[in-house]
Chains A and B, each alone.
Chain A
Amino acid sequence: MSVPLLVVEDLEVRHGAVTAVHDLSLEVDRGEIVGLIGPNGAGKSSTLHAIMGAVRASAGDVRVRGESVVGKRPEAVARKGVALVPEGRRIFADLTVDENLKLGLAGRRTRDGSDDDLARVYDLFPAVEESLRRKAGTLSGGQQQQLAIARALVADPEVLLLDEPSLGLAPRMVDVVFETLAAIRDRGLAVLLVEQRAQRTVALADRSHVLANGQQRLTLGPESAGDTAALVSAYMA
């Protein structure tokens, strides 16, 4: 039995006196989507930022391919094959779509094959390819979200972290984003998905961990997607 691609073990994140994440453990392997759901302030984003090295883990471990990345800078973690689609998309509005994608290439471990990866990403997001010369800020919200995911994918990551990719999107675009995530999983990536849309996430993900007040409350499989009572009680607990 090989080690899972991404392992988070007893992770603790503190913001000053506040403990944002407490004793969180999870694993994501190739071809899996793991959901991280829970109310605002539950520590979902903090978890992703700690994995990425953007905030310091005060305790616990994060391992990629069995190798600890705790204490590394984000630029180094990116080069280990981890890519983050940040909350609010954080695309560079004043740069062109093409330039945004080229920035994504910065996180590649090797420059070989970047054309192939670009082609694969265009395949997934035709709308992105059609608007390469446009300023990214002129895209619609849904297109910007697709660009943000595309930008993460051109780095050829093995682990993809997404922070609320459906936030602020029109319902049809939410469908597109969730379909895309399924396609990304089918390509063999390990996906860790932070979301507010609990039911859809539970239905899509192989496992979903419910977080509240920085603590892991419950783990749900896709079969529990209709079980609103379990979700509600986990949120309220």
Chain B
Amino acid sequence: MTVALLNIDWQTLADATGLGGIYALMAVGIGLVFGVLRLVNFAYGQLIMAGAYALAFASERGWPVSIGIVLCFAVVLTLSLLMDRLVFRPLRGQTPAVMLVTTFAVAFLLQSIALLWFGPLGKIASSLATLNQPVTISGVDIRKIAIVATAVAAFCLLVLVLLLERTRVGLHMRAAAMDFSTAELLGVRAGRVISAAVLVSGVLAAIVAVMLTVQNPLVTPDFALRDTILVLAGVVLGGMNRLVSATLGGFAIGFASGLLGGALPTNQSQYLPSFLFAAVILVLLVRPGGLFTREGHQAVERV
């Protein structure tokens, strides 16, 4: 069965949705920290990379999947909190340029550490490889990971919405993202809000690490680097200033990436990023504020 144009079949569509879901989670992880710290964490991909190494470590020793996942969460969350204490907090209030360059440095530092410890050849995280097998739904073969990724992403986004909309810390996070200094004047505890954002962002990075290792079991020091760059482009494409638009941007770029990846003939797949970034540039030329931002949405002072 084929959706006529570009030779896209249902399987590609499912894969694209799954990838869109994973990228949406990454966009949330980056967007949450950006919201409260006004810091674009370029090292987000290296958090995922560290989680992937944890999974590979467990997998190569033949440990059960559950242990591998616990280890992955432990490593990513520890690293997130360390990054917060050692890098984010001391940089609070610095110019965006200083913060961006510093997170670049952290990214390359982590990548170099991975290179020194694990070598350039990569480790295999194969515990969850069975998720790559297809299931047949009304005559269409769909990889299990596509379904799992879509479901996990939908579930995580739902939990996140509940957290942000229904809890005290969620309200404080939203307020801090809109106007941190006023939130502090009202007694919102800055440290707690930042920790919450960093922790949630870390949890998402760990989840993404699990799902990306299924898609790509070979864990190398540049694991998730390309994905992070695409997601960052997606976040800018969607609109950085609101979590919803950033998330939609992440989904869009993941979906487009999956779709194009399926549609392009295999021998031309190296052109995939070029197509994607060309599209990003075009969109930003037409809508510099982002694809999913509300036009003319500005706070108007009222009398």
Task: Establish whether residues B187 and A90, one from each chain, have CB atoms under 8 Å apart when the complex forms.
Answer: no
Task: Establish whether residues A90 and B182, one from each chain, have CB atoms under 8 Å apart when the complex forms.
Answer: yes
Task: Establish whether residues B302 and A139, one from each chain, have CB atoms under 8 Å apart when the complex forms.
Answer: yes
**Distance from A41 Cβ to chain B, minimum over Cβ atoms (Å):** 20
Task: Establish whether residues B190 and A75, one from each chain, have CB atoms under 8 Å apart when the complex forms.
Answer: yes
Task: Establish whether residues B185 and A78, one from each chain, have CB atoms under 8 Å apart when the complex forms.
Answer: yes
Task: Establish whether residues A79 and B171, one from each chain, have CB atoms under 8 Å apart when the complex forms.
Answer: no
The range of chain A's interface size is 35 or more
Kindly identify, within residues 105 to 156 of chain A, every residue whose CB is under 8 Å from any CB belonging to chain B.
106-108, 137, 139-142, 144, 151-152, 155
Given A92-B175, A102-B171, verify A141-B303 contact (CB < 8 Å).
yes
Task: Establish whether residues B172 and A106, one from each chain, have CB atoms under 8 Å apart when the complex forms.
Answer: yes
Given A102-B171, A103-B171, verify A86-B184 contact (CB < 8 Å).
no
B270 close to A (CB within 8 Å): no
- Grouping DSSP codes into helix (H, G, I), strand (E, B) and loop, the B interface class, with mixed when no group exceeds half, is helix
Task: Establish whether residues B302 and A144, one from each chain, have CB atoms under 8 Å apart when the complex forms.
Answer: yes
Q: Mark B182-193, 1 if CB is under 8 A from A, else 0.
A: 111111111000
Task: Establish whether residues A54 and B186, one from each chain, have CB atoms under 8 Å apart when the complex forms.
Answer: no
Number of A-B residue pairs with CB-CB distance less than 8 Å in the complex they form: 75
Task: Establish whether residues B187 and A86, one from each chain, have CB atoms under 8 Å apart when the complex forms.
Answer: no
Task: Establish whether residues B184 and A73, one from each chain, have CB atoms under 8 Å apart when the complex forms.
Answer: yes
Task: Establish whether residues A106 and B181, one from each chain, have CB atoms under 8 Å apart when the complex forms.
Answer: no
Task: Establish whether residues A90 and B179, one from each chain, have CB atoms under 8 Å apart when the complex forms.
Answer: yes
**Distance from A79 Cβ to chain B, minimum over Cβ atoms (Å):** 6
B178 close to A (CB within 8 Å): yes
A226 close to B (CB within 8 Å): no
Task: Establish whether residues A168 and B301, one from each chain, have CB atoms under 8 Å apart when the complex forms.
Answer: yes
A183 close to B (CB within 8 Å): no
Contacts of B302 in A (CB 8 A): 139-141, 144
Task: Establish whether residues A75 and B188, one from each chain, have CB atoms under 8 Å apart when the complex forms.
Answer: yes
A99 close to B (CB within 8 Å): yes
- B186 touches which of A93, A141, A144, A151 (Cβ 8 Å): A151
**Distance from B299 Cβ to chain A, minimum over Cβ atoms (Å):** 5
Kindly identify, within residues 69 to 115 of chain A, every residue whose CB is under 8 Å from any CB belonging to chain B.
73-75, 78-79, 83-84, 86, 88, 90, 92-95, 99, 102-104, 106-108
CA distance A104 to B183 in the complex (A): 9
CA distance A112 to B274 in the complex (A): 59
Task: Establish whether residues B299 and A103, one from each chain, have CB atoms under 8 Å apart when the complex forms.
Answer: no
Task: Establish whether residues B303 and A169, one from each chain, have CB atoms under 8 Å apart when the complex forms.
Answer: yes
CA distance A84 to B182 in the complex (A): 10
Task: Establish whether residues A103 and B303, one from each chain, have CB atoms under 8 Å apart when the complex forms.
Answer: no
A170 close to B (CB within 8 Å): yes
B174 close to A (CB within 8 Å): yes
Q: Mark B5-16, 1 if CB is under 8 A from A, else 0.
A: 000000000000
* Residue in B closest to A99 when the chains form the complex, CB atoms: B171
A52 close to B (CB within 8 Å): yes
Contacts of A139 in B (CB 8 A): 302
CA distance A78 to B172 in the complex (A): 15
* Residue in A closest to B190 when the chains form the complex, CB atoms: A75
Kindly identify, within residues 135 to 182 of chain B, every residue whose CB is under 8 Å from any CB belonging to chain A.
168, 171-172, 174-175, 178-179, 181-182
**Distance from A109 Cβ to chain B, minimum over Cβ atoms (Å):** 9
Given A75-B188, A151-B186, verify A95-B181 contact (CB < 8 Å).
no
Given A90-B179, A92-B178, A95-B174, verify A104-B303 contact (CB < 8 Å).
no
Contacts of B299 in A (CB 8 A): 93, 137
Task: Establish whether residues B303 and A168, one from each chain, have CB atoms under 8 Å apart when the complex forms.
Answer: yes
Contacts of A107 in B (CB 8 A): 186-187
CA distance A84 to B186 in the complex (A): 8
Instruction: For the complex of A and B, list the 7 residue pairs with the smallest distance between their C-beta atoms, beginning with the closest.
Output: A107-B187, A78-B187, A141-B302, A106-B187, A141-B303, A90-B182, A106-B188
12 A-B pairs within 8 Å (CB atoms) are namely: A73-B184, A74-B184, A74-B185, A88-B301, A90-B185, A93-B299, A103-B175, A107-B186, A137-B299, A140-B302, A141-B303, A151-B186
